[in-house]
């Protein structure tokens, strides 16, 4: 799939014949922590900085304040709802907003509100951009129908070439409407030089780390497909190879109410004899400090990641990454240069990669650190992502300038 151009939007494009700046409405279910939400806020900031008018509609959440500080306006609507009656009401309300504000282009980032957004955009005759944030399930007619509107944009953005190919093959999105725009990482936040020692020390104490023992970190919400059990079995093999569990493994993430899954992981940890080596500390609010503590970062997902934000953020912090060899990881991890790719559901292969990562010499580790940071800076920054989206918006609103 074609990559979006990253040229700056021409000054002449910012301001239609009416004399007012273009207005864009982004729509998503809610503004809680996550990759979709972070991308929405980053884009809202970029629009305001470019002199455009930026609106975001969602059910709200903790990121609304950051959004409004950046100069965007938030509109609260029940957009996470899957109730047909409420979705119909959302369509009417969105149509009213598009006409009254007025809105020049609508960008929807999730399946639940996509039905309402597409209907409202069609009624008003404004361009629609959709973003495939994952390879949405399509193995039965209902799931394919539910995600269908995401493939009906005037332009369809995919967060990786893997997702773009999937959208074309499974949802019939025409290639000329598809563009790949990888998620962007904020290098001012994920910068080793900006993580002060007190933050690292506080988290190390919270996680009960042991001086001198390497730290293996698997970040991400505690859900089965993230591969926690695969990592635990790999750790048991690693301990056997090394003669002891001379490492600490941190499985950091919010269980989001999956208490039974947490109990399963604790039981498996006990059965494998890893109680002293494994930590399940829950959600982590300071991921840059978490990466600083890690000797190696693992993404053991058993299903393909659409992009794999954790792998990119870890590389931005200069950390070696081990990821499963499918999905977006194939586009973000450079085997032999910034980390390893291992087959999914293969504890033995993961254990071998972990052993290599732990045994890295200081010189080799420094080489990986420098290559990883450069790789992210060259391909996966917030600025590059926002410029590419602005180019898509400009292409639809001002084709003569695209």
Domain 11-184+381-401 and domain 192-379, same fold? Reply is yes
Pick from 278, 275, 325, 263: which is nearest to 299 by CA? Answer: 325
- Contact between 218 and 251 (Cβ < 8 Å): yes
Tokens found for residue 218: 């698997």
What phi and psi, each to the nearest 5 degrees, are found at residue 332?
-115, -25
- Contact between 312 and 185 (Cβ < 8 Å): yes
Strand 278-282 with 248-252, pairing: parallel
- DSSP string of 330-385? HHH--BTTTEEEE-TT-HHHHHHHHHHHHT--HHHHHHHHHHHHHHHHHH-BHHHH
- Contact between 42 and 386 (Cβ < 8 Å): yes
Q: How far apart are CA 69 and CA 52, in angstroms?
A: 15
pLDDT in tens for each of the 402 residues of the chain?
555 443 334 433 444 456 789 999 999 999 987 788 989 999 999 999 999 999 999 999 999 999 999 889 999 999 988 888 888 999 999 999 999 999 999 999 999 999 999 999 999 999 999 999 888 887 788 888 888 889 999 999 999 999 999 999 999 999 999 999 999 999 999 999 999 999 999 999 999 999 999 999 999 888 899 999 999 999 999 999 988 889 999 999 887 778 899 999 999 999 999 999 999 998 898 999 999 999 999 999 999 999 989 999 999 999 999 999 999 999 999 999 999 999 999 999 999 999 999 999 999 999 999 999 999 999 999 999 999 999 999 999 998 765
Q: How far apart are CA 85 and CA 375, in angstroms?
A: 47
Pick the CATH number of 192-379 from 3.40.50.2000, 3.20.20.70, 2.60.40.1220, 3.40.50.300: 3.40.50.2000
Residue 142, class by beta-carbon neighbours within 10 Å (0-12 exposed, 13-18 middle, 19+ buried)?
A: exposed
Query: Per-domain residue ranges for the chain?
Result: 11-184+381-401, 192-379
How many helices (DSSP H) and strands (DSSP E) are in the chain? Answer: 15, 13
Contact partners, residue 324, CB within 8 Å, separation at least 6: 227, 299, 300, 301, 302, 341, 342, 343, 344
CATH fold, domain 11-184+381-401, is Rossmann fold (3.40.50)
What count of Cα atoms within 13 Å lies in the side-chain half-sphere of residue 304?
21
Burial string for 324-338 (b: 16+ CB within 10 Å, else e) reads bbbbbbbbbbbeeeb
């Amino acid at each position: 799939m074609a990559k979006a151009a990253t040229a700056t939007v021409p000054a002449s494009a910012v301001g239609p014949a009416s004399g007012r700046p273009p207005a864009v409405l982004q729509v998503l279910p809610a503004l809680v922590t996550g990759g979709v939400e972070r991308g929405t806020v980053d884009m809202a900031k970029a629009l305001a900085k470019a002199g455009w008018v930026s609106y975001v509609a969602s059910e709200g959440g903790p990121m609304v304040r950051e959004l409004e500080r950046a100069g965007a306006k938030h509109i609260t609507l029940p957009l996470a709802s899957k109730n047909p009656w409420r979705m119909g009401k959302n369509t009417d309300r969105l149509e009213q907003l598009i006409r009254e504000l007025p809105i020049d282009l609508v960008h929807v980032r999730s399946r639940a509100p996509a039905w309402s957004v597409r209907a409202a955009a069609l009624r008003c005759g404004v361009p629609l951009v959709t973003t495939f944030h994952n390879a949405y399930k399509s193995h039965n007619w209902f799931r394919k129908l539910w995600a269908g509107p995401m493939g009906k944009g005037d332009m369809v953005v995919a967060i990786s070439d893997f997702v773009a190919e999937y959208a074309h093959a499974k949802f019939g999105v025409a290639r000329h409407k598809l563009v790949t725009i990888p998620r962007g990482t904020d290098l001012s936040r994920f910068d080793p030089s900006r993580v002060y020692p007190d933050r690292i020390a506080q988290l190390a104490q919270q996680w009960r780390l042991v001086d001198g023992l390497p730290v293996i970190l698997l970040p991400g919400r505690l859900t089965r497909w993230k591969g926690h059990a695969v990592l635990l079995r790999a750790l048991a093999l690693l301990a056997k190879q090394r003669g002891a569990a001379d490492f600490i493994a941190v499985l950091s993430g919010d269980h989001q109410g999956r208490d039974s899954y947490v109990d399963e992981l604790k039981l498996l940890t006990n059965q494998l004899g890893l109680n002293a080596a494994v930590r399940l500390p829950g959600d982590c609010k300071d991921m840059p400090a978490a990466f600083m503590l890690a000797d190696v970062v693992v993404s053991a997902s058993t299903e393909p990641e659409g992009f794999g934000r954790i792998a990119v953020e870890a590389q931005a912090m200069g950390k070696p990454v081990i990821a499963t060899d499918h999905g977006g990881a194939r586009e973000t991890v450079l085997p032999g240069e910034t980390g390893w790719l291992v087959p999914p559901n293969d504890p033995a292969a993961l254990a071998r990669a972990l052993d290599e990562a732990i045994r890295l010499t200081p010189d080799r580790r420094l080489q990986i650190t420098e290559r990883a940071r450069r790789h992210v800076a060259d391909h996966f920054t917030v600025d590059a992502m926002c410029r590419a989206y602005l180019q898509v918006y400009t292409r639809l609103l001002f084709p003569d300038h695209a």
